[in-house]
Structure 1
Amino acid sequence: MKLKYIIFTFLLPALLMTSCKREEDRIFEENASLRMTEAIANAYGVLQGNEAGWEMKYYPSQNQEFGGYTIFAKFISNAQVTVASDAIENSQTSSYAVIHESGPVLTFNGYNKSIHWYTEPGMDNGGIGADDTGMKGDFEFIVLKATADSVVLKSKKSGTEVVMLPLNANEFEQKAEAYQEAAAQFSQFGVFKLEDASGDLLDIPYSSPIRIFRNPKDDSGKQMSFRVIPSGLEFYAEQEMEGVRFKTLKYVEPTAAYPYGYYTNDNTTFKIVPDVTPLNLWFTQNLWSMSYSNIGPLTASYWDVARGKLAAANFTMSNLYVGNVSLVASGFGGGVLFALNDWVAVGAGSYTITPVQGTIDEVRFTFLGGYGLNAGFTGTHYNAGPTDILVPFNGRTFKITSEEGLEKPSIIMLTDNQLPDNFMRVFLEEINDPLNN
């Protein structure tokens, strides 16, 4: 009995300590939960507290390899947000929330192109970035700080830090429109040249629509990532060209000598001179519809054979395209695309479509092979007409002309340099039943 008493006496302090520890854990958990609730409430309050909205400089990838953009957000309730982006026309209202994870997380959980475009895979965003990751953007952000003067966010996926700054009065509408106009103007340019301090012109490596320049005098190939702003260009980090360091370049309006204006530093030491996208580059960047009523007599002689073969096989040609097939078939490249039987069978003739060096309006087609783009397209489909439609393109060089002018026309004419009766008038607009239209 005495031994039991001694043991009990020994255990009692431990039991009391355990009881106290559990009580402390509950208090700690309650405090952490309370702090999280308060942080979420604070984030909601700050976001909605500035009724004019917020502006953010957004570089979707941690390495800035796709350039930067400007996004505007107006949080109009605990569930609704209006978002505008310089890269997307107009604005859109969708849902959002601040949720409880390891910290408060701002999630744009309702689809809104003004923010989700940066998160879409390359196959869906127009071919920017890899097929699966696109521009590597995010629509969920950890809220690191939320005060009236700034909201500091961290992308959940990339870890990129984003700062939202408050807008005033009607700036949401005014600034969003100004940035969209500047971006639209910039996007019409497909070629840029560096006019250096001595007046020489050098091609600037640039791949539309990615907002990255590379200094043609810098052999390292270092990227110069930037945003388009109403006054010109703002770079992610300080840059150096022609011995001048700068963070922004101002846009100078067009003159007789510079019909598209130019971007320059404060002392006009150098100029970045834009030009419209050459017709041959514009052609290779897009996918164009073709139709029987818009081809030449030599071209038609091959299409007539194709029509007969398709009819004999009881196949129909739903749509027929030429150009950048990757816009609808991720990773494919250039070619001629055949959509048969209401897109049940889809295949393509693969081509290297190359702008002819030294020209702005010629392209050459080099045949690579024929492929099925879905399981429904077989060798039987390929040989029942499509092979004949390909013949007028094989190894041919075409001159490109347009009645609409040089600036991104929607209709162009391809005319064989050596066989003038081999021509195709092609359209950005969709044409159905192309062998009968």
Structure 2
Amino acid sequence: MKLKYLIVLILLPFLLVTSCKRDEDRIFDTNATVRITEAVEKTYTVLQANKAGWIMKFYPSNNQEFGGYTLFSKFISNAEVTVASDPFSGSQTSSYSVSPESGPVLTFNGYNKNIHWFSEPGKDNGGIGADDSGMRGDFEFIVLNASADSVVLKGKKSGSYLVMLPLKDGEFETESKAYQEAAAKFKQFGVFNLETKDGEVVPMGYSPKIRVFTNPLDQAAKEMAFRVVPDGLEFYEEYTMAGTSFDHLNYIEPTSAYPYGYYSDKGNTFKIVPDVTPINLWFKTNLWSMSYSNVGPTGQVYWNNARTKLNANGITLNNMYIGNAGVEVVYYVLQNGAVEGAVGHNITLVPGTIDQVRITFTGSLYNVVGFSAAYWTGGLNEFTTPLNGRTFKITADELSEPSSVLLTDIATPTNTFRVFLKDINDPLNN
């Protein structure tokens, strides 16, 4: 009997400690839940309290290789938000939520092109970034702090830190419009030259879809990421070029010597001089959809041959493109999307022109999904004959970044191709 009591006495302190620990755990869990719930409610309150809205500098990739953009948001209720961003005109209202995870998470859960464009695959966003990941932007953000002065966010996917700052009354409309107009003006430029204080002019390359400059005087220098702002360009950090450090360049309005204006540092020690994109360069750097009804009489002979061979070999052609898909190719979508691939075709700018290219078959085969030489010899090769080794003059109704262009063979004017940036399905019957 005494032994039994002794055992009970020995175990009693342990049981009491264990019992207390369970009670403490329950209290802690409850407090954590309450704290997260309160943080979520506070985030909703802060976001909506500023009726004028918020502005945010947004670099979608965590290493800034696509440059920066400016986003505006106005949180109308616990469910709706209006978003504007400088790549697009106007604004769009969609849904959002703040959900409890390890902390509050702000999610733009209803599709809104003004923010989801940065996370779309490259094949959907106009060819920026990889086909599967695009610019790798976020639309889900961990809320690190929310106050009337700022909302500090961390991209859930990228890990990038961002800050939303409050706007004043009417600024959502006026500021977003000013940024969008500045971005639209900048977008028309596809060629930039660096002019040093000594008068040296050095090409800076071509980068129409991303907001990053390379330093033509130092190939090893870090790329310079920037946002387009109403008075010029604002850079992600301080950079040095042509012996000058800067983090902002002012836009100087056009003159007779600089018909498109230029961007310069405060001391005007160098100029970045823009020019509109030559139409042959615009063609070379995009991917264009092709179709039978938009091919001239010379080319249609070969397209008819292709149709006959493809039908005989049980091959369905769903889409066909020419241009830049990471490399210069003619790209095919076959068998209702089950097969995709391309064959190399160099597109060479004709020196001394802004509107001529020469297209040359390279023979390189690119297997994307199940593509092989059998498809090429099964009829696709017929498409290349009216393209290979020929020089084309390019014309368009729009001078800057047209969505459709006409290629006319200089040696054989009946050999023409009208191509489009939008997709054309079933190209052999359209």
Cα distance, 1:304–1:155 mapped onto 2, change above 3 Å: closer
**Offset at 1:280?**
1.4
Structure 2 counterpart SS, 1:90: coil
Maintained 8 Å contact 1:345/1:377: no
Which residue number in structure 2 is paired with residue 350 of structure 1? 344
The reply to whether residue 414 of structure 1 matches residue 412 of structure 2 is no
Change (3 A) 1:289 1:101: closer
Whole-Å separation in 2 of the counterparts to 1:281 and 1:145: 46
Q: For 1:342 and 1:155, how far apart are their aligned partners in 2?
A: 37
Matched, 1:150 2:150: yes
Where do 5+ consecutive residues of structure 1 fail to align?
none
* More deviation, 218-227/162-171: 218-227
**Paired position in structure 2 for 1:186:** 186
| Partner of residue 393, structure 1 | 387
Partner of 1:260: helix, strand, or coil?
coil
Q: Map 1:124-203 onto structure 2 (within 5 A).
A: 124-203=124-203
Determine the structure 1 residue equivalent to 2:12.
12
Counterpart in the other structure of 2:259: 259
List per-residue Cα deviations over 1:386-435 (Å, max 9, x = no partner): 42231011122323233x25322344332334444533344446667766
How far apart are 1:67 and its partner, in Å?
Answer: 0.6
- Asked if structure 1 preserves the Cα contact closer than 8 Å seen for 2:313 and 2:378, the reply is no
Q: What's the counterpart of residue 334 of structure 1?
A: 328
Does the residue aligned with 1:128 lie in a helix, a strand or coil? Answer: coil
Give a deviation string over 1:187-231, Cα, whole Å, max 9, x none. 111111111111221111342211100111123131101001111
Q: 1:383 aligns with which of 378, 399, 403?
A: 378
Cα gap change, 1:130/1:343 in structure 2, threshold over 3 Å: closer, same or farther? closer
Corresponding residue of 2:243? 243
Q: Does 283-292 or 270-279 show the bigger shift?
A: 283-292
**2:19 maps to amino acid:** S
| Equivalent pair of 1:347/1:382 in contact (CA under 8 Å) | no
Q: Which amino acid aligns with 2:392?
A: F
How well do the aligned residues superpose, as a CA RMSD in angstroms?
3.0
Provide the C-alpha distance between the structure 2 equivalents of 1:213 and 1:161, rounded to a whole number of angstroms: 22
Task: State the distance in 1 between where 2:86 and 2:267 align.
Answer: 28
Letter in 1 for 2:90: N
> 1:393 is paired with a residue of what secondary structure?
coil
Answer yes or no: is the 8 Å Cα contact 1:372–1:378 preserved in 2: no
What is the count of residue pairs matched by the alignment? Answer: 429
Answer yes or no: is 1:28 the counterpart of 2:28.
yes
1:41: which partner in 2? Answer: 41
Task: Please tell me whether the aligned partners of residues 310 and 378 of structure 2 are also in contact (alpha carbons under 8 angstroms).
Answer: no
Give CA deviations for 1:262-299 in whole Å, capped at 9, x if unaligned: 11112221111111111111112333344556555543
Partners of 1:349 and 1:390 within 8 A in 2: no
TM-score by length of 1: 0.87
Separation of aligned partners in 2, 1:344 and 1:243: 54
Q: CA–CA distance in 1 between the matches of 2:113 and 2:270?
A: 37
Structure 1 18/239 Cα, relative in aligned 2: closer, same or farther at 3 Å?
Answer: same
